[in-house]
Structure 1
Amino acid sequence: MNSAEHLSALRKWMVSKKVDAVYLTCTDPHQSESVADHWKTVQWFTGFTGSVAWAIVTADKAAFWTDGRYTEQAKRQVDATLFALYSISDPKDPDRFDWLRNHIPQGGCLALDASVLSTANFRNIQSAMKSRDIRFELNLESFLNIWTDRPRIPQDSLYQLEEEFTVRTRREKLTALRKELREAAGEGAVTLVCGLDDVVWLTNLRGHDNPLYPFFHAYMVVGPDIALLMTDQRKVTAEQAEGLDADGIFLVPYRETEKFLSHIAAGAKVVLDPHKTPVALFEALPDTVEIVE
């Protein structure tokens, strides 16, 4: 499929879902600076190959933004007959949210991918669109199913960082984190860790999932007496699993993170970073927990 066919398929999906506009990004669920090919949604949709881009599509308009590094590249790669091309570095070009406000009807519906959009960014969109009184569709999965050759999330095995580079053991790092948690939110608080740099620091493990950094896709939940590592368990060797278990870190399948979060006990304090936490995980937390940002 080419960009014109992608646009046609998206607009058919929009009609079926009663959606007036779709906001597409090129980030992953961890807000990584570079992302695996699996999450290069805007690139797949438009043909652009740079690392920073956004696209907004309505029933009869489409617009594309990148930054000043990529403006000439975008002109070569993105079909200007399909997309209006803008740069966030050019003060003469419209802001994404200004453009959206001018092209979505009052009371319309905006579709977003809650699995990758951060909670902080979603709040910015909500604030910017407040005057339009719009509603949100947070699931793009049924549209992205047309990406039939979508690269899978990398599954390369993890490796243990040598002791000379870790400075502190996993147990020492967990002890330090738990002390900070108690001081920040009191006894019994737990934290949801979404940043991949934070996960690899806590676990002293490294991976090959990211094109620039030795990261692997994972979340962690850490509390006074619990430490869970949510990742693809096929990446973890038996020896690594045994070592994690010995240090009190237990494995949970990556795709079961939302399910686990939905069962956190009522009254628990959950410490998180809204700039790192995707909307899907934030929304999975029960209304009965107290969120500390």
Structure 2
Amino acid sequence: MLQTFQSQSEPERVAERVKALRAWMAQAKIDAVLVPRADKHQGEYVPASAERLKWLTGFSGSAGIAVVTKRSAVLMVDGRYTVQAGTETDTKIFEVSLLPRNKLSEWLIGHLGKSQVIGFDPWNHTAGEIERLQKALAPKGVKLKALAKNPIDVIWGKARPTPPQNPVIAQPIAFAGRTPADKIAELQTRLKDEGQSAVILTLPDSICWLFNIRGSDVAHNPVVLAFAIVPASGKAELFIETDRFDPEARAAVTPVAKLLSPATLAARLKELKAKGKRVRLDTETAAYWFEAQLGTKLISRGQDPCIVPKAIKTDAEVIGARAAHVRDGHAVVRFLAWLDDWAADGTLDEITAVQKLEEFRRDTNMLRDVSFPTISGSGPNGAIVHYRVTEDTNRRMRPGELFLIDSGGQYPDGTTDITRTIAIGEPSEDMKRHFTAVLKGHIAVATAMFPKGTRGIDLDPFARRALWQIGADFDHGTGHGIGSYLSVHEGPQSISRAGMAPLHAGMLISNEPGYYKVGEYGIRIENVVLVTLPEPVEDGDREMMAFETLTLAPIDRRLIDPKMLDTSERDWLNAYHKHVFETLAPGLDPSARNWLKQATQPV
């Protein structure tokens, strides 16, 4: 199995660990400590050795920050994790607060006085984050202090997992579509045009994309943890243990990059500082440590120059994505057919479902990993947006309930992410009403046409309108970017209230509105879509982009109230189901093919 089901939280250990941290604070003369869910690379996903927030608080979600003062403590999470955080931490120790409704700076000001000091690890916060905090706290006289050692690491001690040292492999040009030399040359042209002598790269997926390499340093993310410096002229510099490269990866990288020990990074930054030339740094993704090493005068602030070109897939990556989704569709349909056979009697549980779906994906002989731990939530567990089933929480699917399964695969030619909500037995009218409202929002996004320059924030209301009309909503974004055999969550694109990046043709993005009735059920319908090239519209005066849906799996017709769909929505659903059947049926065994034929009948 690529997934485990042991409980990751230890709420019973929280009190003793916070006590140990407070003892360290007293000795260090620090009044508060920040503990974010971050590592040196500031990615969403971190290796086990950097799971400091989980170790301290018990909270295992992918975003959040804790603050511990001498007498109080808070765990701040976003809307995806409000239910989960309360169950995983010790709420006698940690107040659970919702971001962004409550701001970190406001909480700190409310709990600390003038001249009190907040300690932070300069590797685990971005330069932009620290700058904003300093600006907010300065008028109140509260100070920030960069710590020489991370106190969690000190307390964690020898029990802390070893940082990863896994092999580095090459991503073939057949899947990448562009060579590292081509990408670096384009990046260097941009640096010259903008008067910058070099750029520092810190995001693992940016580095893997630039050099066409992959790894397994972070669970379910085929990335390598490394840093890079790309000068405006000459060879790039990749800071990573050189013995980790397999021969093919070494042969692909060494013509364009020097392989240097991570231990030499600080000295290299000192050299750049001594030359006094402008160095590009993305202060929203790079650790504050880099700014502290270089000094603000030499830093030319700008977005990581790999982010946008990485998000705009090459023709080869688009072809790979389509192939991966067909392959994944076969696995998902086999799973859904199996689920219908076994779930109705009330004996099937959440863990068994995860195991079976992974088995079907492994049967493709192309699966490298799941793209994230499968969310397998029956009944009330489905209402926990990022629920992760464990041996402690595992429950059976019962007739009259909904089952939500959100999963994905990492294939060498593409990354998938799909959510389906399934009726176990006969659904209630309330379930149908909410499901159909979510479906209407999903279709509104899937059928959207929009001009160049449209941002995700502009499209986000499309997904919510039908829910708003029945007095409902959801507290997460509608869609996130998808990598190409990289992170299942990729920027800069998103469809959300914070989605300010323009959408470009070639971007992959999820379409996943939902509804969650706490304590009863959760609903989410997720497909991956591709932003298409602008095309003329009949009798129109502007070209419009649109979405091509790549995900292939039926949407549960038993949960649809046809009276709530208009003609165009019904037409889209029937056309989608026809496409699903025609594409997948030839690759299925007779039993699964017959099930799919029934599941894709017109509404």
1:68 to 65, 75, 79: 79
Equivalent pairs: percent with the same residue? 26
1:226 to 223, 232, 235: 235
Q: Quick check: 1:177 aligned with 2:177?
A: no
Q: 2:180, 2:256 within 8 Å by CA — same for their partners in 1?
A: no
Q: 1:263, 1:286 within 8 Å by CA — same for their partners in 2?
A: no
Q: Quick check: 1:241 aligned with 2:250?
A: yes
Q: 2:121, 2:150 within 8 Å by CA — same for their partners in 1?
A: no
Partner SS, residue 222 of structure 1? strand
Cα deviation 1:10-38 (Å, max 9, x = unaligned): 11111111111111101122221222222
Cα deviation 1:54-107 (Å, max 9, x = unaligned): 111111111111122222222211111111121226x4xx42211101111201
Residue identity in the other structure for 1:4: A
2:30 to 14, 19, 24: 19
Q: Distance in 2 between matches of 1:88 and 1:286?
A: 31
Runs of 4+ in 1 over 4 A off after TM superposition: none
Cross-structure match for 1:285: 294
Partner SS, residue 130 of structure 1? helix
1:85 to 84, 93, 96: 96
Q: Quick check: 1:166 aligned with 2:169?
A: no
Q: Quick check: 1:214 aligned with 2:222?
A: yes
Q: 2:35, 2:52 within 8 Å by CA — same for their partners in 1?
A: yes
Partner SS, residue 74 of structure 2? strand
Q: 2:169, 2:248 within 8 Å by CA — same for their partners in 1?
A: no
Q: 2:205, 2:223 within 8 Å by CA — same for their partners in 1?
A: yes
Cross-structure match for 2:156: 147
Question: Aligned-pair distance for 1:239?
Answer: 5.1
Q: Distance in 2 between matches of 1:257 and 1:153?
A: 17
Cross-structure match for 1:194: 202
Cα deviation 1:144-173 (Å, max 9, x = unaligned): 222121122222101111120121211111
Q: 1:30, 1:196 within 8 Å by CA — same for their partners in 2?
A: yes
Cross-structure match for 2:142: 134
Aligned length: 286
Partner SS, residue 156 of structure 2? coil
Structure 1 residue runs of 5 or longer lacking an equivalent are none
CA RMSD of aligned residues (A): 1.9
Partner SS, residue 50 of structure 1? coil
Structure 2 residue runs of 5 or longer lacking an equivalent are 1-11, 302-603
Please say which of residues 72-81 and 251-260 is displaced more in the overlay: 251-260
Q: Distance in 2 between matches of 1:67 and 1:79?
A: 18
Q: Distance in 2 between matches of 1:53 and 1:170?
A: 34
In structure 2, do the counterparts of structure 1 residues 243 and 68 end up closer, same or farther at CA, with 3 Å as the change threshold? closer
Q: Quick check: 1:157 aligned with 2:167?
A: yes
1:115 to 123, 138, 158: 123
Q: Distance in 2 between matches of 1:98 and 1:134?
A: 12
Q: Distance in 1 between matches of 2:267 and 2:251?
A: 24
Question: Aligned-pair distance for 1:250?
Answer: 0.7
Q: Equivalent residues in 2 for 1:247-286 (5 A)?
A: 247-264=255-272, 265-285=274-294
Partner SS, residue 178 of structure 2? coil
Q: Distance in 1 between matches of 2:85 and 2:77?
A: 8
Q: 1:22, 1:58 within 8 Å by CA — same for their partners in 2?
A: yes
Q: Distance in 1 between matches of 2:295 and 2:126?
A: 18
Partner SS, residue 282 of structure 1? helix
Q: 1:262, 1:286 within 8 Å by CA — same for their partners in 2?
A: no
Alignment TM-score, normalising by the size of structure 1: 0.91
Higher relative contact order (CA 8 A, sep 6+): 1
Partner SS, residue 291 of structure 2? helix
Q: Distance in 1 between matches of 2:238 and 2:34?
A: 31
1:38 to 24, 49, 56: 49
Q: 2:34, 2:65 within 8 Å by CA — same for their partners in 1?
A: yes
Question: Aligned-pair distance for 1:238?
Answer: 5.0
Question: Aligned-pair distance for 1:124?
Answer: 1.3
Cα deviation 1:220-274 (Å, max 9, x = unaligned): 10111231001233422355334422x1311122243223212213221101111
**Larger gyration radius, structure 1 or structure 2:** 2
